[in-house]
Every structure is written in C-alpha cells, then in structure tokens.
Amino acid sequence: MTTISRIYKEIESHPEGAIPFVRFMELALYDESEGYYTNSRPKIGKEGDFFTSASVHPVFAETLADAVAEMWDAGKWRSPALIEIGGGTGALCSGMLARLQESSPHLFDSIQVVLIEASPYHRELQKQALSKWGLPVRTYQSLEQAAASESLQGVVFSNEWLDAFPVHIAEKTQKGWQEVWVTKNGDQLAECYRDPIPPLARYLTEIDNGLPIGMRVEANLGIEETFAQLSRLLRSGYVMTIDYGDLQEELYHPSRKRGTLMCYRRHQADDNPYEHVGDKDITAHVNFSALIRAGEREGFQKVTYMRQDQFLIRSGILEKAVNHTDRDPFTSQAMKRNRAIQQLIYPGGLGGMFRVLVQAKGEVTSHGFRFQTAEKYGEKR
C-alpha cells in the first residue's frame, strides 16, 4: 500500500472523516514502507532533495569533533560515548571520527559509538560509512529503544533531526485557536479545523502573547518525552542540538504569520505538504525555548545557545582555512575547503539560519569551553 493510499484509508475510517495534521505528517515521513524517510531514495546531497551543513564539506564535522573532544576532556570519562541521532548518510559521524582519531588518539580506541536512526535506508548507509573505523557500533531504530538499553557518559549530538518531528498545526481564528486536520476533497487532500486537543490547547495558551487572527503555529508536543528518554540514555554528559529554529518569542512572531512549515523536493522548496506525499521532506522550525525548558525538567542545564556561525567561529573553523596559490576552483581542494567555511558561517545563509544548543547533565562543567569565549572575536554576549 502506498503512503497516500494509507492516508486516504485512515481518513475514511476515522469517525471525523479526517485526521490531525500531526498524524498526516507522521505517515508522510515515516510510513513503514513508502514514507519519505523509510524509502530508499537519496535525500541528502546533489542527488537528493536538500543539502545539510554536514554535506557541504568535512570541515563542519572536524569543527564539531573539536568541540566534542573538549567536552570529553571536561568529563574525564574512560570510555566516552559518541551518540548521534538522525545521522542520515553517516558522513557527519564518520568525519567526526576521522578528526577525533587525529586530535584525541588517547581516547579514540575507547570510544563507544551509538547511532539512533529511524530510517532503515539510512541505517544501512551509516553502517557502510562507519565500517572503516573498526570501532564497535551499536545501532537503535529509536531513542526509546536506545534509552531502554543504554546508560552512557559522553556527548549526544544531532544535526537537523528535530525539525523532522511530526508537528501539530494550529490557526488562530475569530472563535479562538483551532487545530488543523486533513481530510479528502474529491481526489485531493484538504484542510479542516477541529478544537485543539488539551495538550495543544495548553501549549497555545502559553505562547499566545497577543498573536493576531490568522496566525499559524507549529507545535512539537513530543519534546517532553524526548528529553525524558535522553535523560534515561545519558547518565552524564552533554547534548548538542543543531537545527533551524528560534527562541519562542522570535519563532511565534507576527512576521511569521503563516508558520514555518516547509517542504523540499529535488532542491526546490514549497509550503504545500499535500503534493508528492511521501516523496518530499516536510519540516518545521524548532522551538528552542521548549527544548531548554524540557531539558531543565529532566536535569539538563543550558550551557550555550547561539547561531551556527558564532559557534563554528568560536570553535576554531577559521583556523582550518588553508593558505594556497591555487587558481583552478574546480580542482583545488584548498579553495573548496575555504569556500565551504565561508558558506557554513555566512550570516545570510547556513551560518545565520541554524542555531546550536548545548545542554549538560550530571556532575560535569558548564563553563570554560572555547565556544563560550565571545571576546576573542569581538562579539557581545
């Protein structure tokens, strides 16, 4: 059964003749056989639908690895864990291992690598990408499964994971907030409205600081459970989250009246999730305020929150630029590397679009990291 057929079947069998948007998004992305992330078509890179910072150049992985090594040194663990969630092709983790082998050889042989990946297709790609390192790798298909099996010390990291969580959508109308549901209109999908479920209603009350009529917002109500599972998984250590999003007051602002939901297919962006269902990515910006609050309730304290360009610069990415006399931009590796650094820290692109949140749990330091040093780069805190 195709994804769209499964969606139609659920709509037709539901007493309301419709399903919540969050369920539609879950099926479109994660349907067991034909969902976007479960099918075997390439998603990332030139042959896929979008690029990520990790796919731009290995220098991104190198810089993150330096930050991870600093956290490991702070934790003083004998066998530190490197835990990636939603790692896609495995290129980021593999690139980080390459740098860690070079920069932290005293720890490399004792690294515990744990991968958490919902997509069978990406799990296979990750297995292939990491096989060359000769390290034992434990793989789980969900954070829940990993949390039930592991109790680790180290660093959990993700790059563009949370933006792909299924979200509730709500719209503020003359009669108050309404939740968006999905129904059929002939042979097409269409939206309709229902009263929000109680958890969503509470969320909307919390964020509504005079938002205008017609305002649309997305709500990831799975964040609380995510941090509960992270707390079970990580005995002590750090969580590093990289994604696009904002703090709550900036995310839910009248300037974003139609919300942040976006779709990506063949490197084209649009805001219509009801076309090419199962064949396009669907994303929503992350509410980093919600991550910070949920983390605090589970014992995670905020270490830092900043734009990606700031984090990478403070972590030493500019020092990775290469002096050269090359002239051919197509064959020069030095020129490619330097262009990638510019792309990763460009404030009008990846550098300004993405945010980095680092949180700490347990008896580990929250201070003294290189990425917390603003003065060296003439920044204001």
pLDDT (average), residues 255-266: 94
In this structure, which amino acid lies at residue 181?
Answer: W
pLDDT tens, position by position, 51-77 = 888 888 889 999 999 999 999 999 999
Backbone Cα Rg of the chain: 21
pLDDT tens, position by position, 223-240 = 999 999 999 999 999 999
Q: Which CA distances in Å does 90 have to 147, 170, 215, 369?
A: 21, 35, 38, 26
pLDDT (average), residues 319-334: 77
Q: Return the sign of the alpha-carbon dihedral for residues 337, 56, 95, 78.
A: positive
Q: Return the sign of the alpha-carbon dihedral for residues 249, 254, 259, 264.
A: negative
The residue behind tokens 């920044």 is: 379
pLDDT of residue 378: 47
pLDDT tens, position by position, 270-308 = 999 999 999 999 999 999 999 999 999 999 999 999 999
Q: What does pTM read for this prediction?
A: 0.93
The closest alpha carbon to 87, from 59, 33, 128, belongs to 128
> Over 70: is that where the pLDDT of 376 sits?
no
pLDDT tens, position by position, 84-119 = 999 999 999 999 999 999 998 988 989 999 999 999
Assess contact for 18 and 190: CB atoms under 8 A.
Answer: no
Helix (H) or strand (E) run with residue 68 in it = helix 59-75
The 10 Å CB-count burial string (b at 16+, else e) for 27-41 is bbbbbeebbbbbbee
What is the token pair recorded at 101?
């082998």
